[in-house]
Structure 1
Amino acid sequence: MIHIVKLCVGVSSVEELEGYRDERAHWWGADYGEDVHVHRTRMMPRRGSEIEGMASIYWVMSGTICCRQPILRLAPYTDAEGKDYCDIIMAPDIVRTVPYPKRPFQGWRYLRPEDAPPDMEAGGSDNSAEIAAELARMGLL
């Protein structure tokens, strides 16, 4: 199994991402007829068989991995101009993770399970994510 880490460009918070999850599939005409969140990217992962139904996409916002979404499957897509893309079809569930600093990069990268930040504990206080993010920025997490 291998995860994917991706910059969440134009989205500054987990709450904002949650607001987009119902709309994004329709932006590209990628309606898979179910309750899913779709992200279109240029390249199809070569290690797709290690990702589909087993891994997550970890989202980087403001220089920090903040959350993840389980990847259900990958679907090829070709636009009207003949350009190939990959639709990453994810569960709509957004799971907050312990914030982990991540430098900017282009595209997406593989993320080994042992390098992935753990999920935040359910039922934590409202400001626990903010405290963890500040500790991560200080290099203490």
Structure 2
Amino acid sequence: MPLHLTKVAYGADSLDTLQSWFAGREAAGGASLTTRYLPKRHAEIVGGSLYWILKHQLVARSAILGFGDAEGGRVAIHIDPRLVLVQARPKRAHQGWRYLEAKDAPPDLGSGTAGAIKIPADLVGKLAGLALI
């Protein structure tokens, strides 16, 4: 089972903002984040996902494609620019990234909730904020 990471969606005030950031990266052909240090468990993380925290909720994930070098001696985390909504789960904000075991990861919103994908992203964010989904 792959290991996952969690990260606060810093600067995003809504799910729409996060989705528009990813839409721009998808058009550019890829997305990556930089971090100061390579995770010690990086081999377990490739094939996992980066789960985004927005307003103290895990709300979406991006598949982690791999790691590489970035300028300034930093490490790039290459992620799939397609954002997958997940069933909202409470998660405290933190700095940087944290590991998330596969057994603790929330399921995708499309699994077991037929029709939920058709809900507008801003409404999903509001419902998640109220802990209704």
With normalisation by structure 1, the TM-score equals: 0.76
Identify the residue that residue 116 of structure 1 maps to in structure 2: 105
Identify the residue that residue 41 of structure 2 maps to in structure 1: 47
Contact 2:22 / 2:83 at 8 angstroms: preserved in 1? no
Question: Secondary structure of the residue that 2:69 maps to in structure 1?
Answer: strand
Aligned counterparts, 1:18-33, within 5 A: 18-21=19-22, 23=24
Q: Where do 5+ consecutive residues of structure 2 fail to align? A: none
TM-superposed deviation, 1:59? 0.4
Counterparts in 2 of 1:56 and 1:95: CA distance versus 1, 3 Å = same
Q: Where do 5+ consecutive residues of structure 1 fail to align? A: 25-33
Query: Partners in 1 of 2:131 and 2:10 — Cα distance?
Result: 23
Contact 1:97 / 1:119 at 8 angstroms: preserved in 2? yes
Query: Partners in 2 of 1:131 and 1:109 — Cα distance?
Result: 25
Percent same amino acid among aligned pairs?
A: 31
Question: Which one has a larger percent helix, Structure 1 or Structure 2?
Answer: 2
Contact 2:58 / 2:89 at 8 angstroms: preserved in 1? yes
Question: Aligned residues, how many?
Answer: 124
4+ residue stretches of structure 1 with deviation over 2 A? 21-24, 127-133
Contact 1:12 / 1:61 at 8 angstroms: preserved in 2? yes
Larger Rg: 1
TM-superposed deviation, 1:132? 4.2
TM-superposed deviation, 1:19? 1.6
